[in-house]
């Protein structure tokens, strides 16, 4: 990952983690350059990437400002953070269905970029938003990086645990989407009917140093999930 991308991710994380309101003025390019010990051109590139993602906006002659916060209960397609961090104003809970340490199969090897000899944690959960079923989630973690998980940990925010225990933040994601008709097993878990439609997201999570440590498959309940995306152009 390029330097400006790392800095952009860190600025974005600061905005989300501190819940900065719309209109908050960010430091100047010069101040950012001093804080991160990089050139002003690197900071300009980082801020331009955040403008394109809809995280901040620029007022000519006045500075860079935080854009409008997302509407309550909407999931940000562009955020690399988990539901607990993304939906701070909502109650996010989990029902753990399974937690195992397994050997990677072909699909896991493909998405997690590992070998069949590698040990991988698999976590299956139903996630809830304000006590309503939001999604079914299967997550896979490289045991060589995330060395320990248990039921108590995975009942809460796994990403928060990973950050505190291993000092690893999700810096960026690759995400893939498609739509399916639900089978009997998943429809029951989501409280829906067989053949109801569902959006599926595959997420690959990378550390700030570019290490892939997790991938997940999330099947959303169309009745209880809403999404938004912010974008801009640079003139």
Q: What is the pLDDT of residues 17-39, one digit of tens each?
A: 888 888 999 999 999 999 999 99
Same domain, 26 and 99: no
Same domain, 52 and 98: no
Q: What is the pLDDT of residue 86?
A: 67
Q: What is the pLDDT of residue 31?
A: 96
Same domain, 9 and 61: yes
Same domain, 80 and 163: yes
Same domain, 62 and 99: no
174 part of a folded domain: yes
**pTM of the full structure:** 0.76
235 part of a folded domain: no
Q: What is the pLDDT of residue 89?
A: 77
Q: What is the pLDDT of residue 213?
A: 96
233 part of a folded domain: no
CATH of the domain at 7: 1.10.10.10
Same domain, 99 and 54: no
Q: What is the pLDDT of residue 80?
A: 63
Q: What is the pLDDT of residue 79?
A: 67
Q: What is the pLDDT of residues 165-211, one digit of tens each?
A: 999 988 788 999 999 999 999 999 999 999 999 999 999 999 888 89
**Contact residues for 143 (Cβ-Cβ < 8 A; gap 6+):** 101, 118, 119, 120, 121
Q: Which domain covers residue 162, as residue numbers?
A: 74-228
Mean pLDDT in residue range 115-124: 96
Mean pLDDT in residue range 219-233: 84
Same domain, 128 and 80: yes
Q: What is the pLDDT of residue 16?
A: 80
Q: What is the pLDDT of residue 166?
A: 95
86 part of a folded domain: yes
- CA dist., res. 2 & res. 4, Å (int): 6
Same domain, 23 and 90: no
Same domain, 79 and 150: yes
Same domain, 167 and 127: yes
208 part of a folded domain: yes
Mean pLDDT in residue range 43-69: 89
CATH of the domain at 199: 3.40.1410.10
Same domain, 80 and 30: no
10 part of a folded domain: yes
Question: Which two tokens mark 103?
Answer: 């050997």
101 part of a folded domain: yes
Identify which has the larger pLDDT, 120 or 169: 120
Overall domain count for the chain: 2
pLDDT over 70 at 153, yes or no:
yes
Q: What is the pLDDT of residue 1?
A: 67
105 part of a folded domain: yes
pLDDT over 70 at 235, yes or no:
no
* Furthest-apart CA atoms within the chain: distance in Å: 58
Average pLDDT, rounded, for the chain: 90
């Amino acid at each position: 990952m390029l330097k400006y991308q790392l800095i952009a991710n860190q600025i974005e994380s600061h905005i989300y983690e501190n819940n900065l309101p719309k209109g908050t003025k960010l430091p100047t390019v010069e101040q950012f350059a001093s804080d991160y010990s990089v050139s002003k051109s690197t900071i300009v590139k980082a801020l331009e990437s955040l403008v394109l993602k809809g995280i901040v906006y620029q007022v000519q002659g006045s500075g860079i400002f935080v854009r409008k916060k997302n509407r309550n209960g909407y999931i940000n397609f562009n955020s690399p953070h988990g539901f607990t961090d993304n939906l701070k104003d909502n109650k996010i809970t989990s029902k753990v269905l399974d937690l195992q340490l397994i050997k990677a199969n072909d699909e896991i090897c493909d998405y997690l970029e590992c070998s069949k000899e590698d040990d991988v944690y698999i976590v299956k959960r139903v996630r809830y938003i304000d006590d309503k079923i939001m999604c079914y989630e299967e997550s896979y973690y490289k045991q060589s990086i995330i060395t320990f998980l248990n039921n108590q940990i995975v009942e809460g925010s796994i990403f928060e645990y990973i950050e505190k225990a291993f000092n690893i933040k999700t810096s960026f994601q690759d995400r893939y989407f498609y739509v399916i008709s639900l089978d009997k097993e998943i429809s029951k878990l989501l409280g829906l009917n067989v053949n109801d439609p569902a959006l599926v997201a595959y997420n690959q999570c990378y550390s700030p140093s570019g290490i892939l440590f997790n991938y997940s498959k999330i099947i959303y309940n169309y009745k209880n999930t809403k999404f938004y995306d912010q974008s801009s152009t640079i003139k």
